[in-house]
Chains A and B, each alone.
Chain A
Amino acid sequence: MSQVTNILLCGVGGQGVLLASEVLALVAAEEKAEVKQTEVHGVAQRGGSVVSHLRFGDKVYSPTVRTGTGDILVAFERLEAVRYGHYVKPGGLMLINDVEVMPGQIGDYKPYPSGIIEFLGNKGFALQSIPATAKAKELGNPRVSSLIILGALSAHLDLSAKAWEAVIKRRIPAKLLDVNLKAFQAGVEIGKSMAQAAAAGA
């Protein structure tokens, strides 16, 4: 079978997961023969768990990724990385935004779980922590963290910088374009330094 790249993006409703998957799907559409993208969620509302499946390559049939076959999982929130971790192939890559969003709870109160990174590391996944929320604050707009995350992801995909730029320019409103392009570039730098660190470590 022809090579298909399987990517999952997950997070909490309102974090920009859907915008990011739309941008990624459009970039892939610029350069790949086929792209399929779909979201899996229950009743959608603010604060709920969101996961988007994205597959691209020469020929793609199913829009959903099989469990244990994801090449990359991009988690906009730490707990969501565990929730959808089983979709990632053994030793696969997880990019995890360094942020915790406390779940709204009904019934008995549970504190936010600790030890997520250790747990996933022990499972054998390759982990990269992305300080996107902190970096976005530094850039003066907390809403651009999804573009920072995409920038970091771009370091791991064979999609050209030209295509990324073209789609971001097309998709992001003019008055927010500058800061979003900056955010994407900051993400690219983070992704590059992470990849170098990982290579040096190996």
Chain B
Amino acid sequence: MTLPSPGQRILMAGNNAIAQGAYEAGVYFASGYPGTPSTEVLEIISQYSDIRAQWGANEKVAFDEAMGVAMSGKRALCSMKYVGLNVAADSFMVFPFAGTVGGFVVISADDPGMYSSQNEQDNRYFARLAQVPMIEPSDPQEAKDYLKLAFELSEQFSTPVLYRTSMRVSHSKGMVTVGERTESVSDKKFVKDVPNWVVPIFAKSLRAKLDAKIARITEFVESYPYNRIEDGSGKIGIITSGASYTYAKEIFPDAPVFKLALTYPLPKQKILDFCAQHEQVYVIEELEPFMEEQIRAWGVGNIVGKDRLPRTGEFSADVLAKAFFEEEPVTDFAGEFDIIARPPQLCPGCPHRGAYLALKKAGVLVTGDIGCYTLGALPPLGAMHTSFCMGASIGNAFGFEIGGTEKVAAVIGDSTFIHGGIPPLIDVVYNGGNTTTLILDNRTTGMTGHQEHPATGLTLKGQEAPRLDLVGLVKAIGVEHVQVADPFNQKEMYASVKEALDHNGPSVIITNRPCIFARGEKTRPKTPYVINEDKCTQCGACQRIGCPGVLPGEQPRIDEVTCTGCSLCAQACKFDAIGLKGDA
């Protein structure tokens, strides 16, 4: 990658700016696990040759690695979507007891509005829960600049710092003035000191030390210059941070604004003074009343927050205008015009489709997981019946079985299996389960935009790595009935599913077709299929496989541009009306 020259002002997305910030801050090591809206942070960092960057098997592992690098005295960061911090929470909650040696920053990307997520969770509470200072940027320039502040804070107080971004900050582009890299010059080294680093034995004394540390930081933030007051006119003051700041400035361009960069711990006295100086203060924060609750607890009465603003969904200037001025946004035209939706569907040529067609035919209860394959729950496939979070499918299936459901199968992707599917599969074997697990190995992390993982044989930087052998791994766990099946061969796929379900004991099926976007996978067929309309009876069987390449309408047609030639529609046709282009 050609580095932008220092002083240059260029257009960057928030996540690119965080990566540039990591470069400038002299970060030595970066780890993470893919998850929208955080994924690009690590992908872009990996292009800077000065930073060692790698995907972890999951967020907890990635966190522990970055933590080790930081303990060894170097600057490290760990990046994940907000639910990733749930996975890494065990380490995140305990590391502050010891503190860090080199700077350590955890990037957590929230998703207000749940554009690409399973729940809506305000990770600012994690800062308070763990007693860790938190920084929130509001636009790309801050996304870059504040990352350096986060590292400085981390080193000044020997504490991890939570860097909380949100989808709109991570995925918006704006102008950023770039700077140069300053190598981190910390001369601090890890010193063997059991009472500090062996936390469980010395937790009581470390707990007191942590309390004292957060008290010192609380005092420090009172004069933190990046928590800035923007002067204005009028009787109403605004307290805000992050993306909410940008909407507040659109709606209240002239109001005085207390714009916080460091939102935990809050500068109590400064906020009390600000509130005292204004007749009324609007606390404008997306999702939960994180700041508002604390301010109210100090006995401040003249604030307005969630009594007017929604606590769910993404904010916008429209949302604020409605909340404060009862200005209704312009509604869409759906009431006057039938705007047909474009629902999400598995891509044409997606190998997951073949697995779901077989599972549907088997009429089995399917517990699902997190990935593109969750779309198998929607009609016309409708072959997944539960889905919650990373790795839940296998334990859930085993639970259903214990609860009395006779035929149950878990469906999990390759990356998700590595992330969180291995311990529950061990459990199935250990505790005498009969659970059938389908590992849909499409050789990529699909949903987040095709990242590498241990079973793709490539690293984040695109270098070759030992390829994790999923069949060998599953056998080593003790699963005796392991089959590799071709989801594009419906007879074989269905026979495998049937056999696995009938097997007495745990069973695993690993599908063997790559994602149509998987890097370096050239095994997929290319010739499109066509429908012979003379033979076609318009029965609709080909349309019921849920392929966007089979166009809707009374007379089905195949879109030759998107058809990848997977042949599933041809296999669904009982009248031999679908054949390869040129043959039919």
Residue numbers of A with Cβ under 8 A of B are: 1, 12, 25-26, 29, 33-49, 60-64, 66-68, 79, 82-87, 102-107, 109-113, 116, 119, 123
Contacts and interface: CB of A to CB of B under 8 A. Distances in A.
B550 to A, nearest CB: 9
Contacts of A45: 344-345, 347, 372
13 contacts: A25-B173, A29-B11, A36-B139, A48-B344, A62-B246, A66-B250, A68-B329, A68-B330, A103-B340, A103-B342, A104-B342, A105-B552, A111-B553
B115 A86 contact: no
A92 B318 CA distance: 19
A109 B369 CA distance: 29
Contacts of B546: 106
A110 B342 contact: no
Given A25-B173, A38-B168, A82 B339 contact: yes
B116 interface: yes
Nearest to A110: B340
A189 B172 CA distance: 32
Contacts of A43: 116, 344, 375, 447
Contact of B173 (A38, A112, A116): A38
A35 B50 CA distance: 30
Given A26-B11, A29-B10, A34-B175, A61 B246 contact: yes
B247 A62 contact: yes
A104 B548 contact: yes
A102 B91 CA distance: 49
A47 B350 CA distance: 14
B11 A104 contact: no
Given A42-B115, A119-B337, A106 B247 contact: no
Q: Which one of A83, A116, A123 has the highest number of Cβ atoms from chain B below 10 Å of its Cβ?
A: A83
A122 to B, nearest CB: 10
Interface size range of chain B in the complex = 35 or more
Contacts of A36: 139, 172-174
Interface in B196-254: 245-247, 249-250, 253
A85 B333 contact: yes
A181 to B, nearest CB: 21
B11 A66 contact: no
Given A48-B342, A79-B339, A107-B379, 9 more contacts: A25-B11, A36-B174, A45-B372, A61-B246, A62-B246, A63-B172, A68-B329, A102-B552, A110-B340
A119 to B, nearest CB: 6
A65 to B, nearest CB: 9
Contacts of A66: 250, 316-318, 321, 329
Nearest 5 A-B pairs (CB), nearest first? A68-B330, A104-B548, A67-B330, A63-B172, A38-B172
B316 A62 contact: yes
Contacts of A82: 333, 337, 339
B175 A29 contact: yes
B583 interface: no
A174 to B, nearest CB: 16
Contacts of A86: 330-333
B470 interface: no
Nearest to B347: A46
A123 B333 CA distance: 10
Contacts of A105: 340, 343, 552
B548 A61 contact: no
B339 A106 contact: no
B34 to A, nearest CB: 14
Nearest to B379: A106
B246 A63 contact: yes
A64 B424 CA distance: 43
Contacts of A119: 333, 336-337
A47 B329 contact: no
A35 B172 CA distance: 10
B422 interface: no
Contacts of A83: 332-333, 339
